[in-house]
Amino acid sequence: MTSSTGSHATGRKAAQLRQAAEDAFAEEIAALCRADDRPRPPNWRMSPQAVVTYLMGGRLDSGLAITPKYIGDRRLMEVAVATLATDRALLLLGVPGTAKSWVSEHLAAAICGTSRLIVQGTAGTSEEAIRYGWNYALLLAKGPSREAVVGSPIMRAMDEGRIARVEELTRIPSETQDSFITILSEKTLPIPELNEEVPAQKGFNLIATANNRDGGVNELSSALKRRFNTVVLPPPATIEAEIAIVESRVASLGRAFEIPAEPPGAEQ
């Protein structure tokens, strides 16, 4: 029964229209973890140097080619990874199409093995989506208890020592954004109803993305800005870089849709 269930789960993952980074690039991540003999921060699956290799591409001693996930300035990825190795949160800032979400997903996948602890920022994002909510059936039946608490992705990341992601941070109303201040400064999430708190375990950190060009954005307070190191992801610097990005994404989408790839026609 266990084998059958495992095969079914594997088959469903393979049939997904879009796999998470940790599934789509599982072979590369596993190979980097095996080959990596450098020091790793607590609860990191690989060293910061290996994370940069995963993002920028390279070739391992085994001969396995690591595909580049980000085509651009290596220094930006080094700064991003170094930030996450400290107690500073990371803010990826840029216009649409600069790979903010893509980089965020791959950073989380490489560092902690999951990119799924994510909060999508919108004008309707509530404080409960950042902190916690309640299972009201249990709350009515048993009263306030940890069993009745429904943890947010941020709370789960803190409890497990993982990376949490916040998409479109500046879309979240300003008064709700400030829920992150205590989490990032004190590294704890109070639950005043229970007179308890959830302390962040080693390895916890936060990656947020933001676009400062569209309308409808909410400026971050100066207190919240101080909790982030900001890395600005620029548009492709050259037409060659843009072509390389498009070719990489087309190849990735082709594999997902099982479309045979054809080499581009020769110029006449």
Question: Using one digit for the tens of pLDDT, what is the confidence trace for 122-162?
Answer: 999 999 999 999 999 999 998 899 999 999 999 999 999 99
Class of the domain covering 16-257: alpha beta
Confidence band for 248, pLDDT divided at 50, 70 and 90: low
Give the angle 130-95-246 at the CA atoms, nearest 5°: 110
Res 106 pLDDT > 80: yes
Cα-based distances in Å from 231 to 4, 35, 79, 241: 45, 28, 8, 19
What's this model's pTM, rounded to 2 decimal places?
0.85
Cα-based distances in Å from 59 to 28, 29, 62, 106: 10, 13, 8, 18
pLDDT of residue 218: 86
Confidence band for 219, pLDDT divided at 50, 70 and 90: confident
> Could you tell me the two tokens for 130?
């950042």
Q: 158-177 pLDDT, tens per residue?
A: 999 999 999 999 999 999 99
Q: Where are the domains of the chain?
A: 16-257
Inter-residue contact 151 to 201 (CB < 8 Å):
no
Interatomic CA distance for residues 87 and 53, integer angstroms: 22
Confidence band for 213, pLDDT divided at 50, 70 and 90: confident
Interatomic CA distance for residues 130 and 189, integer angstroms: 10
Inter-residue contact 236 to 193 (CB < 8 Å):
no
